[in-house]
Structure 1
Amino acid sequence: MMDVSPQAAVSEGPFPFVIISHGNSGSHLLYRTISLHLARHGYIVAMPQHYGNNRNDNSLGDKVENLQYRPRHVSMTIDALLANETFGKQIDSDKIAVVGHSFGGYTALALAGGEPWKQVGQPVAVQHDSRIKALVLMAPAAGYFIPVDSLAKVTVPILLLMAEHDPYTPAWNADVVVKGVPDQSQVTLRVIENAGHFSFISPFPPAMQNPGFLPSTDPAGFDREQFHNQLPAEILRFLNNKLWRLALK
Structure 2
Amino acid sequence: MRRRFHFIFLLALWSGWAQASMGMAELPATADDEPVTVFYPSTDAAQPTRRARFTLDVAAQGAPVRGNGRLVVVSHGSGGAPWVHADLARSLVDAGFIVAMPEHKADNYKDDSNPGPDSWSMRPAEVSRAIDAVARDPRFAPLLQLDKVGMYGMSAGGHTALSLAGGRWSPAGFKQHCEANLVDDFQSCVGLIMRLTGGPFDGLKKWAALWVIRHRFDDATPREHTDPRIAAIAAAVPSSADFEMASLAEPRVPLGLITARQDRWLIPRFHSDRVLAACLPRCELIADMPTAGHGSLLSPLPPGLTGLIGDMLNDPSGFDRSGVLPDVNRKTTAFFSTHLLP
Note whether the superposition's TM-score is higher than 0.5: yes
CA deviations 1:201-242 (Å, max 9, x no partner) are 01337xx24554526511111122332222221111111112
Counterpart residue number, 1:100: 153
Q: Is the 8 A contact 2:245 2:274 kept in 1?
A: no
CA contact (8 A) 1:21 1:47 kept: yes
Matches within 5 A, 1:51-200: 51-62=105-116, 64-118=117-171, 119-120=174-175, 122-145=220-243, 147-152=244-249, 154-172=251-269, 173-181=271-279, 184-188=281-285, 190-200=287-297
Which letter does structure 1 place at the counterpart of 2:273?
A: D
Q: CA deviation at 1:123?
A: 3.0
Matched, 1:24 2:107: no
The 5-angstrom pairing of residues 207-226 of structure 1 reads: 208-209=303-304, 211-212=306-307, 214=310, 217-226=314-323
Q: TM-score, normalised by structure 2?
A: 0.65
The letter for the 2-side match of 1:175 is D
Structure 2 residue 96 is matched with structure 1 residue 42 = yes
- TM-score, normalization by structure 1: 0.87
- 1:120 aligned partner, one-letter code: K
Q: Which amino acid aligns with 1:102?
A: S
**What CA distance in whole angstroms lies between the structure 2 residues aligned with 1:14 and 1:190?**
24
| Structure of higher CA gyration radius | 2
SS at match of 2:124: helix
Q: 3-state SS of the aligned residue for 1:190?
A: strand
SS state at 1:77 partner? helix
Is 1:11 aligned with 2:108?
Answer: no
What letter is aligned with 1:74? V
Q: Distance in 2 between matches of 1:185 and 1:49?
A: 30
5+ long unaligned stretches in structure 1: none
Instruction: After superposing the two structures, state which structure 1 stretch, 81-90 or 184-193, moved more.
Output: 184-193
The corresponding residue for 1:201 is 298
The 1:115–1:196 alpha-carbon spacing in structure 2 relative to 1, beyond 3 Å, is same
CA distance in 1, matches of 2:295, 2:133: 30
Q: Contact (CA 8 Å) 1:14, 1:92: kept in 2 or not?
A: no
SS at match of 2:248: coil
The answer to whether the 8 Å contact 1:139/1:161 transfers is: yes
User: What percentage of residue pairs aligned between the two structures are identical?
Assistant: 31
Q: Secondary structure at the match of 1:140?
A: coil
Partners of 2:221 and 2:284 lie apart in 1 by: 25
Alpha-carbon distance in structure 1 between the residues aligned to 2:292 and 2:66: 39
**Contact 2:74 2:100 (C-alpha < 8 Å) held by counterparts:** yes
Mapped contact 1:140–1:169 kept (Cα < 8 A): yes
Instruction: State the one-letter code of the partner of 1:79.
Output: D
* Contact map agreement 2:286 2:335 (CA 8 A) in 1: no
Root-mean-square deviation (CA, aligned residues, Å) is: 2.1
| Contact 2:67-2:98 within 8 A present in 1 as well | no
**For residues 262 and 313 of structure 2, what CA distance do their matches in structure 1 show?**
15
Q: Contact conserved, 1:29 with 1:47, CA < 8 A, in 2?
A: no
Q: Give distance in 1, aligned partners of 2:56 and 2:175.
A: 41
Q: How big is each residue's C-alpha offset from its partner over 1:105-136, in whole Å with a ceiling of 9 and x where there is no partner?
A: 00011122211122235134343212111111
Shift in Å at residue 10 of structure 1? Answer: 1.9
| Aligned counterparts of 1:106 and 1:166: Cα–Cα separation in 2 | 16
Change (3 A) 1:13 1:163: closer
Query: 2:286·2:331 contact (CA, 8 Å) conserved in 1?
Result: no
1:152 Cα deviation after fit: 5.0
SS of 2:60's partner is coil
**CA distance in structure 2 between the aligned counterparts of 1:104 and 1:27, rounded to whole angstroms:** 11
Counterpart residue identity of residue 131, structure 1: R
- Contact preservation (8 Å) 1:96, 1:134: yes
- Listed one character per residue, the Cα deviations across residues 150-196 of structure 1 (whole Å, up to 9, x for unaligned) are 32562211221111111222222223322334x62332253202110
- Quick check: 2:166–2:251 contact (8 Å CA) kept in 1? yes
Describe the SS at the equivalent of 2:105: coil
SS in 2 for 1:195: coil
Match of 2:335 in 1: 238
Q: Give the drift of 1:14.
A: 5.4
Query: For 2:147, what is the secondary structure of its paired residue?
Result: strand
- Write the distance in 1 (CA, Å) between the matches of 2:237 and 2:133: 28
Number of residue pairs aligned between Structure 1 and Structure 2? 240
Matched-pair contact (CA < 8 Å) for 2:167–2:245? no
